Amino acid sequence: MGTTQLESVPEPKYWHLRTVLSEALDSEFSVGEILPNERDLAARFGVARATLRQALEQLELEGRLQRRRGVGTTVAPPRVGVALGTEQHTWPGAAGDAWQPVDCTTEVPPAAVASALETGAEEPVHTVRRSRRTHGQPVAAELLYVPQPAVPDLSAIDAPSGPARARAVLRELQRLELEGQESAVELGSARADDAKQLDRLPGSPVLVVTTRFNAEGRTTALSVATYRADTCRLTFGDSGGVEIHQGPERQAS
Amino acid sequence: MGTTQLESVPEPKYWHLRTVLSEALDSEFSVGEILPNERDLAARFGVARATLRQALEQLELEGRLQRRRGVGTTVAPPRVGVALGTEQHTWPGAAGDAWQPVDCTTEVPPAAVASALETGAEEPVHTVRRSRRTHGQPVAAELLYVPQPAVPDLSAIDAPSGPARARAVLRELQRLELEGQESAVELGSARADDAKQLDRLPGSPVLVVTTRFNAEGRTTALSVATYRADTCRLTFGDSGGVEIHQGPERQAS
DNA sequence: TAGTGGTCTAGACCACTGA
DNA sequence: CAGTGGTCTAGACCACTAG
């Protein structure tokens, strides 16, 4: 009888905490500022550390916070827009390419890659590893798979691996006429090697961009690029991108 | 002396568990199959339930599992490719549009939206809510913001809100000549209203696609579309998309 | 070495689903 | 109603960073 209907759908604590912290970040903190440590914050809000961490995880996922072990939790800068060239239709390694070759090996690719390239399951392909940086920070790691028949003229002078080999493979790619490309974006978690290259822990959320390059009537190269989901906004289309989702709560009404 | 150098970089338990479970999913389970419950699984692997849950969370993020409260954990089907029309350059609501109008109101938008539309901070805009479904499942929720001056001819006959109003706004949009559009993709977490529309819990990971439509020399519409990150793969370009990242571990070497 | 975030435990209770 | 996943607690120890 005396019980009112308020709180009929109680919000989880960590979700409420996320909202409170988010508003505090907007009004009381500036980019780069260090937050109090997790134990203090948890005590201040009267929750267990695990609950506080659940809220921080959400905010980190949304790109609002950055956490580094042994250092602390800082307010993250707005996400950086990273252009994805879906309209240019140029080969990887063309002039103005934002990527930097790191290494190149020739090995048997994962099964899914082999089937996309329509190569044999046990057939080695050139595997170029590249890195993309913005403002000095690594933002993406890429594996570019190129079947050997696509670049037959790799001279024996080139090293069997290393950055020089990577550049040679990319150079050979430019000879072909690019007929089209298709991309897909999905959420993933960083594998150990990508995580290291991106300066993150394994399992960190990443945006995986898979691009298939078509030439001579077949798939001639396949790129699997892994972008840091916490710091990147992938942009497409006519210009550099749209500036939304900074600032305070984006929810109207 | 007797200590060997093995395990010099001990992998976290939950990460190892994720790998083991992932391989088990590939070899011993089929799509839709129900896994043992969390308490049993944790006991079987000799870890605390929280640790087991951390591994399941990873796999759910990667689209391998689907968890439903009160029901259980099932093996998820491969992600569905969802085409994003960056190349067509057509207005929302054009023929063949995959979206379904749900509602329409006229209200003051969030600050970030107002600045992108270059409207006054307190100026109401038409706000169309739409829904996108695939195979009977909801995959995306959208808010489309249209400044009132862009569609001046909404006759007084139309209802002030509801699906009919939404269709009227979209119809008026088609009269303008679309000059270009820009999109951006980033990771976010579902707000309460979007989560409900997507049949997920608040905070679920989503891919937020922000698209700016240009006409008559200015931004004439702004779409903020929220896709379920667990079930969707966003595709761009010439064809329907690339089939990668199904099957077993995608890591070579 | 002191302080940070990352991992892990063993419990408890709650909200939801379906028989 | 029993069984599921979701939330929360109060601890412990570890890995890393920096002074």
pLDDT of residue A3: 33
**Spatial distance between the Cα atoms of A203 and A189, rounded to a whole number of angstroms:** 5
Q: Which two tokens stand for residue B231?
A: 């079930």
Nearest residue to A61 via CA among A79, A48, A49:
A79
For chain B, which residues make up each domain, given as ranges? 13-75, 80-244
Tell me, in Å, how far CA of B70 is from C1' of C15?
Answer: 8
Cβ neighbours of A121 (radius 10 Å): 9
Tell me, in Å, how far CA of B70 is from C1' of C14?
Answer: 12
Please tell me whether any atom of strand C lies within 7 Å of the Cβ of A192.
no
Tens of pLDDT along A84-102? 876 667 899 888 888 999 9
> Could you say which of A62, A189, A236 has the minimum Cβ distance to residue B236?
A236
A116 pLDDT higher than 80: yes
A113 pLDDT higher than 90: yes
Query: Could you say which DSSP state residue B224 is in?
Result: E
The answer to whether the CB atoms of A187 and B207 lie below 8 A apart is yes
Query: Could you say which DSSP state residue A248 is in?
Result: S
The answer to whether the CB atoms of A61 and B205 lie below 8 A apart is yes
- Helix or strand run (H / E) with residue A6: none
**Spatial distance between the Cα atoms of B195 and B206, rounded to a whole number of angstroms:** 9
User: What is each CA distance from B35 to A238, B32, B66, B229, B247, in whole angstroms?
Assistant: 46, 9, 10, 22, 18
pLDDT of residue B152: 85
Q: Specify the range with the lowest mean pLDDT, choosing from A171-175, A221-225, B237-241.
A: B237-241
Q: Look up the CATH architecture of domain A13-75.
A: Orthogonal Bundle (1.10)
pLDDT of residue A199: 87
**3-state per-residue secondary structure call for A95-142:** CCCCEEEEEEEEECCCHHHHHHHCCCCCCCEEEEEEEEEECCEEEEEE
Tens of pLDDT along A17-70? 999 999 999 999 999 999 999 999 999 999 999 999 999 999 999 999 999 999
Residue pairs between chains A and B whose CB atoms are closer than 8 Å = 205
> Could you say which of B189, B212, B235 has the minimum Cβ distance to residue A62?
B189
pLDDT of residue B5: 37
A245 pLDDT higher than 50: no
pLDDT of residue A248: 40
Fold that domain B80-244 belongs to in CATH = Chorismate lyase (3.40.1410)
Amino acid found at A86: T
Tell me, in Å, how far CA of A58 is from C1' of D3?
Answer: 29
Q: Which two tokens stand for residue A111?
A: 């099964």
Q: Taking the mean position of all CA atoms in its chain, how far away is CA A241?
A: 17
Nearest residue to A102 via CA among A244, A218, A5, A197:
A197
Low-confidence ranges of chain B (pLDDT < 50): 1-8, 240-242, 244-253
Positions of chain C reached by protein Cβ under 7 A: 2-12, 14-18
Contact by Cβ (8 Å): B106, B125: yes
Please tell me whether any atom of strand C lies within 7 Å of the Cβ of A200.
no
At A137, is the pLDDT very low, low, confident or very high (cuts 50, 70, 90)? confident
What pTM does this model have?
Answer: 0.89
Q: Which residues contact A154 (CB under 8 A, 6 or more apart)?
A: A165, A168, A169, A172
pLDDT of residue A86: 61
Cβ neighbours of B34 (radius 10 Å): 11
Q: Which two tokens stand for residue B187?
A: 């990771």
Question: pLDDT averaged over chain A?
Answer: 86
By CB atoms closer than 10 A (0-12, 13-18, 19+), residue B177 is: exposed
